[in-house]
Structures are given as C-alpha cells and as structure tokens.
Structure 1
Amino acid sequence: MKKIAVVGSGYMGGGIAQVLALSGAQVLIADVSAEVAERNAARLQDEAAQFEKEGLFAAGAADLIAANLRAAPSIEEAVADADFIEEAVPERLDIKHDALRRISAACPAASIIGSNTSTILISELATAVVGPERFLGVHFSNPAPFIPGVEIIAHAGTAEQAIARAEEFVAGTGKLPARVSDATGFVLNRLQYALFHEASQIVEEGIATADDVDLVVRTTFGFRLPFFGPFAIADMAGLDVYAMCYASLQTRWPERFATPRSLQQHVDAGRFGTKSGGGYLDIPAHRASALVEYRNRAYVEMSALLERLGPPPVE
C-alpha cells in the first residue's frame, strides 16, 4: 500500500503522516479546509527539518518528507486513489462519523480504512463506514514519529485480510503492531489510566507528592518497562511472590486488589515463573540465566542513557 491518505492533519495526524512519508509512501493529508491542510503540511516540513537538525530524524528525512507528503484540497480528493486511509480527526463520535462517511463514500472499494481513535469502540465507528469489513483501528501513540508501538483493533466484522494487510503495512513503516480486541480502553489506555488513577489516589491520600510518585515510578518498576512487559516482570519476580503481595494488599483493599484468577491458577499448578520453567510466558529454566544477564545489562545501559541525557526539564 503505497498511496496513503491521512484525514486530520493536526498533531497526531501530522505525526502519522510523517511516519508514512518516511516509509516511502506517497501521502496526502486533508483537513476541514484546503487552507488548514496546506498550513499543516508546511508545519510538518518545518518540523522534519528541525528534527533532522537535532539528530532525531536521519539525514535526508526532510527531503524525503518534502517529496512524499502533500496537502489535498478536500477529504474526497485525498482518498480518491488511496490504498490505505488513516482517520485522525478529533476524538468525538459525531466528528469521526462524519469523516468516515465521507471517506468511505469517496475511496476505492478495496481501500483499507483505519481510525486512530484512542477511546471510542471500533464497532461504534464502523456503523458510519461503507464496507465495514475493511475498517479497523490503527492506533498510533503520541508522539507518532518516535513511539514504536501501534494497536491494531478489529471489530467483529473486520475481515481477516484487512487485519493482516494493516499489520503488514504498519510493520513496513518500522513500527511494531500488536493485535488487540475491540474493548473499552483497548490495551494502552486501559493500563495507562489504571496507573494514573492509582497514582492520583496516592497523592490525594497524602502518601507521597506528585513529584515523588513520578520519581518512584520512573526509577523502579517503570525503569523496567522499556525492556519487559508486566507478565515478563511478574514471571521473573516469581508468581508465588506476587500472590503473597496481593494477599498483603487485600488487608486494606480486598476487592480492588483481589488476586487475579489466572495468577492463582498458575501458583496452584506450581508454575511460579522463570524459576520453575514457566508462568505466564513459556521461558524454559535453562534460559533463565541468559534472561537475567540481558536484564542486568539492559538496566545498566538505561542508567547510562539517563545519565547522558540528564534530568528532564520538569525537574
């Protein structure tokens, strides 16, 4: 898929357009008017030049974006010959429905249509799409040029071929697609907002300040997250240890920190994680030492990176 349209050229849509243009695709952006699209195309070009100057984009990136990214006079003209369309208009159901009606009425029948929604169910958006079997969520994260993960979210009527093509397309841009079911919050925001909710509770209870909560998160369990997800971290810590910690938390919050059913099932079966040869992830016991070596080296390298970068400007 080499002819791409991005409908909605603001911060998120514009960043997605840059990613797609850098992958070698021909990208047309569209917005509420031709003037807005033109203005945002110029902004994206200026940003690309600045990113290249700062070493955030590779040498020649600005020229590549200049060659591959243009503004279209209208949504209809942007999508008329597109293989793939990414809808990135504001996060309101009525605005997205209107955009998706116009997109699906004007684009080729074989086009794949993705939505960058972060919160609205794909099944709700699909009601506005002509040919909903080709429609799915393709959720980039902010800032799109620099965050590698992309959620691929199919609704019940999405064709498997459309999912596979979207995954292949996203992988071709250098991003990492993860297949996710159509459920409120998907994965990214369900986890992100659960953490924020608990963090805000801690501040409101006077247990720690917002500054100290941020410090604890980014220097302890958050320090691990660039390398390992929650299941790998749990397996390395020991699922039996996790079960004991849940029991402790339940002395105050018996419902909020009820032991996950899957965790208890693993513990009851003697699957404690890497130390027993398997838990949530099937990591053989003989690979445990190599995993620990990688983990320790990764954390040392992360410490060195943070030392080189210095503290963030919020401090």
Structure 2
Amino acid sequence: MPTAPRTDKITKVAQIGTGYMGGGIAQSLALAGNDVWLADADQESTQRNYERLLKESELFEGQGLFAPGSTEVLKEKFHPAASIEEAVADVHFVEEAVFEDPAVKKDVLSRVEKAVTPGTIIGTNTSTIPVKVLAEAFEDASLFLTVHFSNPAPFIPGVELVTGEATDPAVLPLIDDLLTRAGRRGAQVKDVPGFVLNRLQYVLLKEAMTVVEEGVATPADVDTIVSTTFGFRLPFFGPFAIADMAGLDVYAKGFKVLENHFGDRLSAPANLTSLVEAGKFGTKTGSGFLELEPEKLAALIDYRNKAYKKMAELLDELGPSPLAE
C-alpha cells in the first residue's frame, strides 16, 4: 500500500544537486524559513557550492536583490551534508536538480528513495522529461512528481507541477503551500515531454530561428520585436487573455493570411474557429477563451494600460540591457 505524506507542512527540505539551478532553489526555500540540507556529487562539491551560495547571497544583498540579513538566514538554514543519503534521511521533501539526463536522474532518485524516511515527498526539477519516465526509478512512485523551477530560480516565480499516474494527489496541497511561502506560484500541467513552459518556449525559439534563416530579420531585430511588442505584455497576461483582448475574430483573419502563405502549420486551431463561429470574440463580447463579466471590462482595460505604462517606466529606470547597441 502506498505511503501517505509524513507531514502536513513541509519545513525540512533536501536539495540534491546544488549547482546554478539547484542552488537557486535551495536559496529560495531556505529564505522562506525552511531548513535545507544540501548534497551534490561528493562532499567537496557540496561544500564548494555551499560557500558559493553564501558569497552569491552577499552579492545579491549588496545589489538590493535579497533582503538585508539574507546571508545570515542561509547560514542558519543551510546544512551541507556528507552524502545524498545523509541529506535526505530526515526531511519532508527532496528536490532533485542534477543533469538533464534520464539515466543520471534515475540513479539519483533510486538512491534517494532507498534513503528517505517513509512518507517523504520526492520532486524532480526536470524541464522536459516526463514523470512516467523517471518514475521507473522507484519501487513506489506515489509521492513522486515534477516540481520545475525556472532559471534564475531566486527571481522567477512560476513553477510547473507535473504528477504521474501513481502520484498521490495529497502531495499537491503540501507543495503548493511550500511554494506559496517561498513567493512562488505553481501551475499543474499534464505529463507530456516539455510540459508547457519549454513546449511554448522551444516553439517560439524554433520559429525565431526560421525567421533568421529566411533572412526576414536579424537575431537582434527579432529580440527587439519580441521584447518590445507581445513580450512586453507577457508579464501581465498570458496568450489567451491577450488574444481575447485583441479580438478572436481578428486572430482568425490573421491566421488565414498566415495559412495562405505558410500552409497548414500556421492555420487557425479548431478551438479558435469554433469560438469565432459561435460569435465569441473575446472581451468585446464578454466571452472567448476566458469569461469576463461586462462590468469588469473597463477595469481590465484600465489595469492593462497602467501595467504597460509602469513596465515602460521600469525599463527606463533600469536603462538599456548590456546587449543593447
């Protein structure tokens, strides 16, 4: 019979893999008040990364990116361990962040399962590998799931949560609470390769590379267009909200132009055409991919305009990126 989670609140965490990504996750969870045991390939690597994370925290404090006193908090909450087995022996949650290689991850996860206290939740930070693949490493995968942070982990709030067929639903509220206390927002997605984040990100990158290969624009100009147009909106709204506000009928006509030139790969998806045929054009009709009560439309437009104005002011305050000409 599968084992239930051993606690009703995660306060003790083991971070396995303490490089750039894993170290950032460890910082985030420790600064949220959790004790975090650190382990890497060997004790020397763990100690080296522990010292690096403290130096990095001092730098972030000096830059105003971490709150004053953060480094002292990390010194108190970090516990470098002599081995993976020692790190995971008495914690509520283990987060694995080793190389993005199924064989390497399976080996580490198998070691973790054998060393944890029964009831310990085990997460992986894989960015593309399905849970069902890595679950093969377990005798009992009921407390295993993907908890995918994004780079750089101390500053990016979104986290993908991916459960497998065997995953006990009881783990999700515990992980959600852990993430909320760390100032993160979890979103649950299905167990498919690439999940949502990288599936979208890779498609954008692939099309951008194709644009450059075709001589339509340079890499620098593509980046400028993305960051100053639709990318400018993305901190506030996802693609469905943006499409609803622009008008789904407008998008349907735009897809027709693209389809005529590029063929089926850029034809309108069926879920868009179905909405347009039903007269659901987005916010202007109150219904589209999202539902919006008519009295909220003015408030949404006000928020959108203020958000974009504030974004422009923030970019002016920060000044040009080091990549800018």
Q: How many residue pairs end up in the alignment?
A: 315
CA-CA distance at 1:108 after TM superposition: 1.1
Residue in 1 that maps onto 2:72: 63
Deviation per CA, 1:67-108, whole angstroms, max 9, x where unpaired? 101210000000000100000010011110100000011001
Q: Is the 8 A contact 1:136 1:163 kept in 2?
A: no
CA-CA distance at 1:131 after TM superposition: 2.0
Once residues 317 and 173 of structure 2 are traced to their aligned partners in structure 1, the CA distance between those partners, rounded to angstroms, is: 40
**3-state SS, counterpart of residue 106 of structure 2:** helix
Identity across matched positions, percent: 50
The one of the two structures with greater contact order (alpha-carbon pairs below 8 A, sep at least 6) is 2
Residue in 2 that maps onto 1:107: 116
Q: Which among 249, 254, 263 is matched to residue 240 of structure 1?
A: 249
Q: Is the 8 A contact 1:9 1:88 kept in 2?
A: yes
Q: Which among 196, 206, 224 is matched to residue 205 of structure 2?
A: 196
Residue in 2 that maps onto 1:301: 310
Is it true that 1:73 corresponds to 2:87 in the alignment? no
Residue in 2 that maps onto 1:228: 237
Once residues 163 and 115 of structure 1 are traced to their aligned partners in structure 2, the CA distance between those partners, rounded to angstroms, is: 14
What is the one-letter code of the residue matched to 2:173? A
Runs ≥4 residues deviating over 4 A: none
Once residues 171 and 317 of structure 2 are traced to their aligned partners in structure 1, the CA distance between those partners, rounded to angstroms, is: 43
Is it true that 1:116 corresponds to 2:125 in the alignment? yes
**3-state SS, counterpart of residue 124 of structure 1:** helix
Once residues 108 and 272 of structure 1 are traced to their aligned partners in structure 2, the CA distance between those partners, rounded to angstroms, is: 53
**3-state SS, counterpart of residue 210 of structure 2:** helix
What is the one-letter code of the residue matched to 2:141? P
Is it true that 1:212 corresponds to 2:217 in the alignment? no
Gaps of 5+ in 1: none
Q: Which among 266, 276, 296 is matched to residue 287 of structure 1?
A: 296
Once residues 73 and 128 of structure 1 are traced to their aligned partners in structure 2, the CA distance between those partners, rounded to angstroms, is: 23
Once residues 274 and 166 of structure 2 are traced to their aligned partners in structure 1, the CA distance between those partners, rounded to angstroms, is: 33
Residue in 2 that maps onto 1:31: 40
Q: Is the 8 A contact 1:109 1:131 kept in 2?
A: no
Once residues 139 and 320 of structure 2 are traced to their aligned partners in structure 1, the CA distance between those partners, rounded to angstroms, is: 49
Is it true that 1:140 corresponds to 2:149 in the alignment? yes
Residue in 2 that maps onto 1:171: 180
Once residues 41 and 312 of structure 2 are traced to their aligned partners in structure 1, the CA distance between those partners, rounded to angstroms, is: 45
Is it true that 1:162 corresponds to 2:171 in the alignment? yes
Return the TM-score normalized by structure 2. Answer: 0.96
> Over the residues paired in the alignment, what is the CA RMSD in angstroms?
0.8
